[in-house]
């Protein structure tokens, strides 16, 4: 697809003045001027991450265990969507296989945690080491896929990564002694530290772990995006030929983006294994991979804010659609037909409507709203 | 990007919290467990008992199974209309997990933490339910009558609140193999299994009776690959005369259909999981003549046996409380689970606590539509231990021969002689 | 050797249906540069329409025609009523809307017809004809082959011998120029979707008797295999779709037969990588990547 002419003319105003040939991959772009950072990017990001973590810390005290569990799940997905929105939104590589990369992280964490407890190795260092191993394994898998992906474009990349998403059950079944096939493994997770008191809900502890991981993931991605590499990512996405001409090693840039986003996926998968205390292949199937893609596009492709919206939607949309339909009082006959199906229909419709109303995703819609409000403000 | 990223982190996190912040609660320890007085028991009031389940109502695995929970609910409604259990009405919350363990995680936590159910009942599926065992154990929630034949539910030491329901796949494998050994001596026996614990445990049971070399060809399938012609052809080449299969209904039908295509006609003996005649004939349509002569074990009365008083009761409840849904084995399954649950709740007494309920189930001795005995005790959390063979003759599936029982270890297959009892006249369970 | 011959014929029969389904994907890609993730769900809808009518009338042929007509209508409806309004801030929006459509259609079908399997209707005897003791192909397999071949020939004629076909190709490859030359590009796009949906509907009706039966999710796995087939062959090439379908069908059969059913997804991945690393645009890609 890389050299076929774009089937449709560009429909949005361009902010980059000179564009001799637009690669079709550049349609992934929501164009936005680059803004050079002021001061130390890392410090500024660290500050905001600390603020966010503090806010979340206090909020986690105010909500009940189930909300904490939902919060933890949102944070686990946020680890992944942050990396994926960088890969797809900023580097233009489409992946339908991030569920499999999450599985790499999750299974590594499961095996490591269980190995530690089998050998009676205890201590607060266990979980960070397990998670680090999970990130490492996912990053290695990501490097492998990334090398192949660097040669592929558009739907061909989608096809290969879709096939990657489907191999997880094959592996767990083939190596059933290690992975226990479809049934999966339970994950040994320590209870919250004794210092927090005997009635400290485990869900709140898990939420803290998940949020910590999400902040690490966001920090890494935010800094990478604002570095030299981030600019190369966008250059490669917008025009590969031009990027090559200015001396960017295209393949290397693409592999780097894939590895970082795979590492984020591994972290998210590992956190998910911890908060659910179990791993099994069907958790990480094609549905999850497609949901991740849904999340970043609905949220707003290419923006970390959008990634957060997306992670939130992944958890809240199914929950809310079920709650809404639960309110209806149905006869048994009708209930047998509608139960389960009605929430899915609403979910599907919501996706379609959001995409039609806000093609740039929720984040873009809010930004547009903000612009309108500011303009009005100035006028009055 | 830079500013947005920064603002994004903060604002998104805050909004996430505001959005999820609808219900606030304090840190009261009473919310974390099943202790103490009746007033503090989650899911139990003076007028109501709340139970919850996770089931595939949608998705590829929903066929058939989506009918179980509504059937249970219908039976509870029937009991409620007749006064309930010790004056309390049963409220049954059904959550759809689409047979996806990730969804199971969420909906079971919702049921326990948010809806505060008294117990989880009849959660369906091995991979789905395995994922919530640890959570339910930590929360001390009774986890009754899991709808799957995995042996994982019978670990009283490790998971003291979890109980199985149907005969596990190994017990079933042993019972089928024992029948084959006695009735098809000298014939070539083969095994078709789903490539997970279902097929593995079933084969283990079969080989325990027939010996490792008693099974000539062993083939596996996965539900994500509907082309099983290679496996069936391997059976044909091996000259199999009896094929024992651990298959779900869709793949039992597919096996029979595929075998017919290549003119391979062995005696099929599928697991009870995939042997309901109504379901299979729906799957095969015009090809349902292939089911003639099919032999399979069962642990509940056959759904088409309208002379059976239990089936008459369930058909009546189905008509009045379940919108007269097409009556099949899944409905019998769901109704009998509800019947058993009411028995256990009655036995736990008026002062209902989670501990009382667990003790009531462990005391065992339940009698209902199940053909064999329930094995529940302090040291055994597996479910029904007895099965009876059934055969399709002239388009009707009917049970025949003795009820036999065994365990999942090295025990012999023996006859169970206690006679079946009909339900009470009004159909309301008694202990 | 008997086993090999058997598996080969089995794979060819499977491959033919994957080929038909892949053709539908290729048609939409050529017309609109979109991978239609809703192809499977749309085929399920048309199959339910076909089965309902054919059960009522008692004729397979009528059902088959209903599948054709409802495919045409549904394809046009999806393009006119939905895809046309999708913003193109990025091409992923099409994918997301298609996924939303999948959820919606499967849920609606589930509400109307329930989640149970419905036995497949088949016009011919499906028992295999034996040659030298090896069961090779059934009459139904031959029917599949005939139908798929007919589709390929008809499409080739349409695109190379008719004015409409020429306009459709022009509209897809150079929309601006075509518009200047008086081609109604929008209408050609609708036609492309409708045509693809017809081919998808036929593929759906053909494949059902070889699957578990009709069910809201009956095409999920088929879609994945067909997508792989289309990618292997090259999304721009109808011939590629047919060749890709046969390759995927054979691989699935051989791997199931010799290595075990559980490993088939790995085999598909390996084939995809092997083909695409050598030819990143599929076997029949005609365009070469521009390099510096």
Q: Are B147 and B124 in contact (CB under 8 A)?
A: yes
Instruction: Kindly state whether residue A175 falls inside one of the protein's structural domains.
Output: yes
- What is the domain range of residue A262? 39-188+200-283
What is the DSSP code (8-state) at residue B146? E
Output phi, psi for B296, to 5 deg: -155, 150
**Does residue B246 sit in helix, strand or coil?**
strand
For A112-126, how does the pLDDT look when each residue is reduced to its tens digit (9 = 90+)?
999 998 888 888 889
For B186-234, how does the pLDDT look when each residue is reduced to its tens digit (9 = 90+)?
999 999 999 888 999 999 999 999 998 999 999 999 888 888 999 999 9
Residue C240 scores a pLDDT above 60: yes
Contact B17 A71 (CB under 8 A): yes
Return the pLDDT at B210.
Answer: 94
Interface test with chain B among C9, C114, C124, C212, by most B beta carbons within 10 Å: C212
Residue A148 scores a pLDDT above 60: yes
The average pLDDT across C9-30 equals 92
Nearest CA in chain B to C136: B262
Q: Give the distance from residue C119's alpha carbon to the nearest chain A alpha carbon, in angstroms.
A: 20
Confidence band, pLDDT 50/70/90 cuts, at residue C89? low
Nearest CA among A114, A377, A148 for reference residue A258: A148
Per CB-CB distance under 8 Å, the chain A contacts of B319 are none
Contact A298 C86 (CB under 8 A): no
DSSP letters, B321-352, are HSTTPPP-HHHHHHHHHHHHHHHHHHHH-SS-
Return the pLDDT at C69.
Answer: 96
Q: How many domains does chain A have?
A: 1
**Roughly what angle, to the nearest 10 degrees, separates helices A154-166 and C264-278?**
160
Contact B325 A336 (CB under 8 A): yes
The average pLDDT across B313-327 equals 94
Output phi, psi for B388, to 5 deg: -130, 140
- In chain B, the domains with their CATH numbers are 1-30 (no CATH), 38-167+305-415 (3.40.50.2300), 169-298 (3.40.50.2300)
Output phi, psi for A186, to 5 deg: -95, 150
Return the pLDDT at C116.
Answer: 86
Instruction: Provide the token pair at A333.
Output: 């006959």
Which residues make Cβ contacts (< 8 Å) with residue A351, sequence separation at least 6? A294, A298, C96, C97, C99, C100, C103
Nearest CA among A193, A213, A194 for reference residue A275: A213
For A9-65, how does the pLDDT look when each residue is reduced to its tens digit (9 = 90+)?
444 444 444 444 444 444 444 444 444 444 577 888 888 888 888 888 888 888 989
**C123 part of contact set with chain B, CB < 8 Å:** no
Q: What percentage of residues in chain C have a pLDDT greater than 90?
A: 60
CA dihedral C241, C247, C252, C254 (to 10 degrees): 160
Nearest CA among C159, C268, C287, C151 for reference residue C221: C268
Instruction: Kindly state whether residue A270 falls inside one of the protein's structural domains.
Output: yes
Q: What percentage of residues in chain A have a pLDDT greater than 70?
A: 89
Instruction: Kindly state whether residue A369 falls inside one of the protein's structural domains.
Output: no
Output phi, psi for B85, to 5 deg: -105, 110
Return the pLDDT at B7.
Answer: 52
Q: Are A349 and A356 in contact (CB under 8 A)?
A: no
Nearest CA in chain A to C231: A156
Residue A1 scores a pLDDT above 70: no
Return the pLDDT at A53.
Answer: 83
Residue B16 scores a pLDDT above 90: no
Confidence band, pLDDT 50/70/90 cuts, at residue C119? confident
Residue A79 scores a pLDDT above 80: yes
Q: Give the distance from residue A35's alpha carbon to the nearest chain C alpha carbon, in angstroms.
A: 21
Confidence band, pLDDT 50/70/90 cuts, at residue B5? low
Contact C32 A297 (CB under 8 A): no
Distance CA B364, CA B352 (A): 17
Per CB-CB distance under 8 Å, the chain A contacts of B114 are 64, 66
Instruction: Kindly state whether residue A146 falls inside one of the protein's structural domains.
Output: yes
The average pLDDT across C250-272 equals 92
Residue B69 scores a pLDDT above 90: yes
Instruction: Kindly state whether residue A15 falls inside one of the protein's structural domains.
Output: no
């Amino acid at each position: 697809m890389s050299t076929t002419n774009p089937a449709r003319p560009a429909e949005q105003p361009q902010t980059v003045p000179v564009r001799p040939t637009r690669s079709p991959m550049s349609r992934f772009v929501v164009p936005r001027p680059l803004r050079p950072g002021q001061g130390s990017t890392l410090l500024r990001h660290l500050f905001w991450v600390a603020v966010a973590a503090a806010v979340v810390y206090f909020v986690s005290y105010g909500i009940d265990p189930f909300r904490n569990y939902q919060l933890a799940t949102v944070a686990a997905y946020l680890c992944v969507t942050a990396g994926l929105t960088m890969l797809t939104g900023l580097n233009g590589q489409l992946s339908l296989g991030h569920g499999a990369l999450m599985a790499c992280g999750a299974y590594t964490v499961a095996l490591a945690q269980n190995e530690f407890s089998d050998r009676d190795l205890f201590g607060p260092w266990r979980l960070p080491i397990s998670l680090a191993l999970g990130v490492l394994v996912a990053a290695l898998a990501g490097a492998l896929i990334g090398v192949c992906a660097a040669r592929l474009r558009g739907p061909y990349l989608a096809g290969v990564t879709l096939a990657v998403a489907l191999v997880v059950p094959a592996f767990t079944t083939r190596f059933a002694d290690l992975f226990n096939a479809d049934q999966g493994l339970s994950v040994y997770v320590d209870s919250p530290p004794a210092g927090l008191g005997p009635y400290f809900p485990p869900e709140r502890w898990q939420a803290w772990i998940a949020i910590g991981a999400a902040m690490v993931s966001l920090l890494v991605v935010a800094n990478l995006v604002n570095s030299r590499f981030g600019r190369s990512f966008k250059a490669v996405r917008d025009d590969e030929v031009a990027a090559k001409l200015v001396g960017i090693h295209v393949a290397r840039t693409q592999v780097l983006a894939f590895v970082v986003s795979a590492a984020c996926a591994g972290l998210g998968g590992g956190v998910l294994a911890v908060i659910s205390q179990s791993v099994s292949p069907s958790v990480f199937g094609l549905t999850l991979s497609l949901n991740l893609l849904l999340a970043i596009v609905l949220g707003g492709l290419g923006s970390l804010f959008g990634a957060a919206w997306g992670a939130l939607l992944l958890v809240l949309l199914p929950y809310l659609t079920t709650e809404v339909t639960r309110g209806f009082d149905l006869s048994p006959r009708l209930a047998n037909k509608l139960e389960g199906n009605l929430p899915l229909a609403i979910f599907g419709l919501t996706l379609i409507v959001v995409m039609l109303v806000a093609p740039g995703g929720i984040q873009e819609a809010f930004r547009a709203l903000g612009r309108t409000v500011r303009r009005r403000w100035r006028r009055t | 990007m830079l500013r947005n990223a920064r603002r994004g982190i903060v604002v998104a996190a805050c909004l996430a919290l505001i959005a999820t912040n609808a219900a606030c609660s304090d840190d009261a320890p009473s919310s974390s467990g099943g202790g103490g007085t009746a007033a503090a028991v989650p899911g139990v009031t003076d007028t109501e008992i709340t139970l919850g389940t996770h089931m595939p109502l949608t998705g590829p695995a929903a066929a058939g199974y989506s009918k179980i929970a509504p059937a249970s609910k219908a039976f509870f409604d029937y009991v409620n209309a007749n006064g309930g259990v010790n004056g309390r009405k049963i409220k049954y919350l059904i959550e759809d997990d689409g047979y996806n363990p990730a969804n199971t995680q969420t909906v079971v936590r919702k049921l326990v933490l948010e809806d505060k159910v008294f117990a989880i009942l009849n959660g369906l599926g091995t991979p789905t339910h395995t994922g919530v065992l640890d959570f339910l154990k930590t929360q001390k929630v009774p986890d009754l009558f899991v709808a799957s034949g995995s042996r994982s539910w019978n670990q009283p030491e490790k998971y003291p609140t979890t109980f199985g329901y149907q005969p596990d796949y190994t017990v079933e494998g042993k019972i089928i193999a024992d029948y084959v050994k006695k009735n098809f001596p000298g014939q070539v026996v083969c095994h078709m299994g789903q490539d997970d614990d279902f097929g593995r445990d079933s084969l283990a049971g079969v080989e325990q009776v027939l010996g490792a070399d008693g099974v000539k060809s062993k083939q596996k399938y996965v539900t994500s690959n509907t082309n099983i012609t290679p496996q069936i052809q391997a059976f044909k080449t091996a000259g199999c005369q009896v094929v024992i299969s651990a298959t779900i209904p869709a793949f039992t039908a597919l096996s029979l259909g595929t075998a017919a295509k290549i003119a391979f006609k062995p005696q099929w003996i599928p697991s009870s999981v995939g042997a309901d005649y109504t379901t299979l004939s729906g799957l095969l349509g015009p090809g349902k003549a292939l089911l003639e002569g099919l032999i399979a074990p069962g642990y509940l009365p056959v759904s088409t046996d309208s002379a059976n008083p239990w089936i008459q009761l369930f058909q009546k409840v189905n008509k009045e409380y379940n919108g007269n849904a097409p009556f099949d084995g899944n409905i019998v399954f769901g109704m009998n689970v509800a019947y058993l649950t009411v028995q256990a709740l009655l036995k736990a007494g008026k002062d209902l606590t989670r501990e009382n309920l667990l003790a009531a189930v462990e005391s065992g001795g339940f009698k209902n539509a199940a053909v064999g005995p329930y094995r529940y005790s302090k040291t055994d959390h597996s479910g029904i231990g007895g099965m009876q063979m059934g055969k399709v003759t002239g388009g009707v599936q009917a049970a025949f021969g003795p009820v036999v029982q065994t365990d999942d270890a090295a025990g012999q297959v023996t006859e169970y002689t206690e006679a079946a009892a009909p339900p009470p006249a009004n159909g309301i369970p008694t202990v | 050797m008997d086993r090999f011959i058997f598996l080969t014929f089995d794979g060819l029969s499977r491959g033919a249906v994957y080929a038909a389904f892949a053709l539908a994907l290729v048609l939409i890609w050529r017309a609109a540069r979109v991978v239609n993730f809703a192809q499977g769900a749309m085929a399920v809808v048309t199959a339910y329409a076909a089965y309902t009518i054919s059960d009522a009338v008692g004729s397979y042929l009528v059902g088959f025609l209903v599948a054709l007509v409802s495919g045409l209508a549904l394809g046009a409806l999806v393009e006119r009523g939905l895809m046309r309004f999708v913003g193109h801030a990025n091409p992923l929006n099409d994918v997301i809307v298609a996924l939303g459509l999948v959820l919606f259609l499967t849920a609606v079908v589930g509400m109307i017809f329930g989640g149970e399997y419905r036995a497949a209707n088949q016009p011919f005897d499906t028992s295999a004809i034996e040659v030298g003791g090896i069961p090779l192909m059934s009459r139904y397999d031959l029917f599949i082959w005939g139908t798929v071949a007919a589709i390929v020939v008809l499409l080739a004629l349409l695109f190379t011998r008719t004015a409409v076909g020429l306009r459709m190709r022009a509209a897809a490859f150079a929309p601006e120029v075509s518009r200047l030359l008086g081609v109604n590009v929008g209408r050609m796009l609708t036609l492309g979707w409708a045509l693809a949906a017809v081919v998808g509907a036929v593929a759906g009706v053909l494949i059902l008797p070889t699957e578990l039966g009709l069910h809201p999710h009956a095409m999920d796995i088929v879609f994945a295999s067909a997508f792989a087939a289309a990618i292997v062959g090259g999304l721009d090439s109808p011939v590629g779709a047919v060749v890709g379908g046969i390759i995927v069908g054979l691989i699935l059969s051989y791997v199931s037969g010799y290595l075990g059913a559980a490993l088939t997804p790995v085999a598909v991945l390996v084939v995809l990588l092997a083909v695409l690393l050598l030819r990143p645009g599929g076997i029949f890609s005609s365009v070469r990547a521009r390099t510096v």
